[in-house]
Structure 1
Amino acid sequence: MKTLTLLRHAKSGWNDPVTRDFDRPLNPKGRRAATMIGRHLRSLDIAFDHVVASPAIRVVETLGEVATGYGRALDAVWDRRIYLASSATLLDLVRELPASASRVLLVGHNPGLEDLVLQLVPDCQDLLRDAVEAKYPTASIAELGLPIDDWAKAAPAGATLDRFIRPRDLDPSLGPDED
């Protein structure tokens, strides 16, 4: 059995004077949300034996804030292919994960992460999957169980969605802005 946890980067700032999308930093709400998600992961006693992430600034900062709340370092393998990747690219990346890794955290961007969940989890009457399909907000985590012994066997409709946690589920003030 393999467990794949997908973390979308936290809310980034659009008002910062950066020249490239890749360089956008987190905004204060994003920092709070990422720290809260880290605390929640710690409370669930979830440990990862492999972390792979986009090297975009907002992802690097998200992982730093999650680690603060989590209480331990999350040493990532930085993979540029994750930056704005499609679900097909992400699935290829999942299939390349080391066979020795059982519990993987993949940190990246939408719409790729949302589409990957929808590709891996069968379309059935499932409230968690419906929630992902409605919206995969920033700093949200989706935990998927894959009944496989090698990541190379990851296949569409071959996973269960065991958790979907949004920052607003933990603290309503981290929900959507009212503007």
Structure 2
Amino acid sequence: MSSLDVFISTLMLREPKTAIPQTTRFRSIVQPGGLGDRRPSQLLRDMRYILPDSISEDALKQFWLQKLPSTTAAIISGQDESLEELAARADRVMEATSTYDVHAVNISESSTDRFRSIENAIAALTAQVANLATLQANNSNYSRAKSRSKSRSNNNKNNGMCFYHDRFGASAHKCIAPCTFKSPEN
């Protein structure tokens, strides 16, 4: 049984030390990743706090070394010292080297093409929205002008009669000038 298997089984059986669920604490230790903004000695203290007390020093050392930058881990891994002494040495190595890792990002042509197509789609949608806004503004102006001209032209369509006489004829109670309605004489 490997140290990882022992570690996993002991971690799953252990009661949590904090309100953070066991699976979350386990994931934070086992998942790949580095120190973050912590010093190696602080990482070791955090791991001791989170990990079960029954985990061996060798297993803890292996998990801790995996979290360190590769250059620092290479320098201190051959040392035959206690884990606390290795952590102090790792702190000094980190201070002395204090280089920043730069990770290159390789963008493939397909990614570039995908970004271009997304940009083109956004530009096309922007143009469509602008056209729709223009059409809507023109349409609202046209409908207002049409309704005004319609009310004026109604008088012309109705042989010069007002709305009331056109609709109700001789029984109309109102009349709007100019109106050409002639009441039939009996």
TM-score, length-scaled by structure 1:
0.23
TM (normalized to structure 2)?
Answer: 0.23
Higher normalized strand content (fraction of residues): 1
Higher helix share: 2
Larger Rg: 2
Q: Which has the higher contact order (CA 8 A, sep 6+)?
A: 1
